[in-house]
Structure 1
Amino acid sequence: MTDDLTKALGLIPTNDPYVVCWRDLDAADLGDELDRLTTWVNWATDRYRLDHKVIPPCWPNHGALVEELSALRTFWEACYLEDASPSDPLSFHRDLTLALRRLRDWSSMLGCSRTLHRPE
């Protein structure tokens, strides 16, 4: 069952998963999509207790992190559609494990910390 916080944040998927092609966004749409993704990332970071070594606070400044997190959000949305398979959330968590490894590796290579952003 979905909790009230998830509903309040607008995290209940109501349409088909929304795939974002970040390369094709103009400046206005980029800001809107980053805001939307930030809402989900904040929720996921809290829900899964992810720290800055996995997702540094400056993640929106790093394309690879944005792409990975956006793909995760799309997958998560698809798992909770009305016609989703009962096993889809397990598939999400299986792939989440792999994605968290990639995020941790990228964050480590970037060298950003909780308080310091290092441009690429």
Structure 2
Amino acid sequence: MNDDDFPLPAITDPYVVCWRDLDPITIAEELDRLKEWVTWATTRYNLDHKVIPPCWPEHGACVEELSALRTVWEHCYQDDSAPTDPVAFHRDLTLAVRRLRDWTSVLGCSRINHRPEQRT
């Protein structure tokens, strides 16, 4: 399996998604866009279900982290980006992977089982 198996749309101008402020239609559109990137990123960086479980769209913290990471990734490949921006992205990716792994562990989700979050 390689990157060609999961083609990624052209890089667009990055923008920050404030999930809290989105209406249901826009949430669905943004989730579709994010799913494309996450599918590519999990293959490219060999991230397994212990980092990003298949049910990640059901977990707000995962959505927020992955959305922020995608925004940084999009930004670092713009024409006006600094040559060091991709290195900064990979530094951020390392930290994000740690957080995602911690959250996935706490959530208790696996490759085949989803555990809904307990709301308090």
Same fold (TM over 0.5): yes
Find out whether 1:20 has 2:17 as its counterpart: yes
Tell me, which stretches of 5 or more residues in structure 1 are unaligned? none
Q: Which string of whole-angstrom CA distances, capped at 9 and with x for unpartnered residues, describes residues 24-70 of structure 1?
A: 11111110000000000000000000000000000000000000000
Let me know the Cα RMSD of the aligned residues.
Answer: 1.6
Q: Which runs of 4+ in 1 moved over 2 A?
A: 4-9
Counterpart of 1:13, as a letter, is I
**Partner residue, 2:8:** 9
Whole-angstrom distance in 1 between the partners of 2:6 and 2:107: 34
**Partner residue, 2:86:** 89
Residues 1-120 of structure 1 mapped to structure 2, 5 A cutoff:
5=4, 8-10=7-9, 12-15=10-13, 17-120=14-117
Aligned length, in residue pairs: 115
Which secondary structure does the structure 1 equivalent of 2:95 belong to? helix
Tell me, which stretches of 5 or more residues in structure 2 are unaligned? none
Whole-angstrom distance in 2 between the partners of 1:76 and 1:6: 20
